[in-house]
Amino acid sequence: MRIAFMGTPDFSVACLKALVESEHEIVGVFCQPDKPVGRKQIMTPPDVKVEALKHDLKIFQPVSLRNGKGVEILEEIKPDLVVVVAYGKILPKEFLDYPKYGCINVHASILPKYRGASPIHFAVLNGDEITGVTVQQMDEGVDTGDILRTETISIGINDTTEYMYEVLAPLGAKAMLDTIDLIEKGQLEPVKQDEALATHVGLLSREISNIDWNCSAFEIHNKIRGLYSWPGASTVLSGKTLKLHTSVLSDKKGNNIPGEVIEASDKLIVACGDNCCIEITELQLEGKKRMLSSAFLNGYKIDKGTVLGI
């Protein structure tokens, strides 16, 4: 089958690699334009472009697909199917309708839950035990198309968003290839999404990084692992920003002030709003390197009873 691929970040690369290794012909790769990155604002290609260059694939980086610009490219490469994985822009109707088999999208949630830009983050943030990937037939809505295939996977109690990205990417590649196989065999059985179960999640920003110690230990733990490694969770220690990289739930309990440090010898254990506690295992104080809490406490004294976040 002649396939055009659309994707931009690292998450998309596993699907592109799977297509390269398959019997299908990749007639073109779409990704977002190169962007300036870092303090020196060095123009940097997206991860999908880097991978496409390795295989000498035809690359397109249009600023817009509207006003017929996207269809012009499709007329040039004539794909039977377009596969979309975290491309980053809404596709216009004329683009969606052009390929023989339309456009399919690999989305990192069990639709209709977590439509939108940050499905993996919110599955972890909300403490879900199960997540997965859905391949959907794209329509004009945001992740509203018919479900073609779903694959599920467990989320461990200490799994982070970054880790779930790593395991969901190859799962998405498998689901994609299985779906394409069904398309070729004419064996698809599309399922309409239940709108009553739909939820939508938007882009994240650093504004949500601050920890509210009045929340339960489970909620705070989920926030730390859900925001890892970006945008990251943080609190305040003696007037300085303290980034909290990893944590585990503690078995300690007590009627302490939320945010109060109840142990700071070789472990950093903090009271939460439900009288349960959380152990911070990796952290980074403003102006310092990231380190294990045990190493941090060897060189930085935190008095028992110190309250974080103030």
CATH number at residue 230: 3.10.25.10
Looking at residue 195, its pLDDT comes to 97
CA distance 297 to 269: 12
Please check whether residues 40 and 117 belong to one and the same domain. yes
Across the chain, mean pLDDT equals: 97
Please check whether residues 98 and 243 belong to one and the same domain. no
pTM equals: 0.95
Q: Which residues in the chain come in under a pLDDT of 50?
A: none
Q: Where are the alpha helices (DSSP H) in 186-276?
A: 217-226
Number of domains in the chain: 2
In a domain, 308, yes or no: no
- Work out whether strand 59-60 and strand 25-30 pair parallel, antiparallel, or are unpaired: parallel
Q: Which domain holds residue 239?
A: 206-299
Say whether 199 sits in a helix, a strand or coil.
Answer: coil
Tokens at residue 136, please?
A: 């959907």
Please check whether residues 170 and 224 belong to one and the same domain. no
What is the torsion angle, in degrees rounded to the nearest 10, for the CA atoms of residue 166, residue 118, residue 69 and residue 97?
Answer: 90
Around Cβ 21, how many Cβ atoms within 10 Å? 11
Percentages of the chain per state (helix, strand, coil), in multiples of 5: 30, 30, 40
Looking at residue 254, its pLDDT comes to 84
Please check whether residues 163 and 275 belong to one and the same domain. no
In a domain, 309, yes or no: no
Q: What is the pLDDT of residues 79-128, one digit of tens each?
A: 999 999 999 999 999 999 999 999 999 999 999 999 999 999 999 999 99
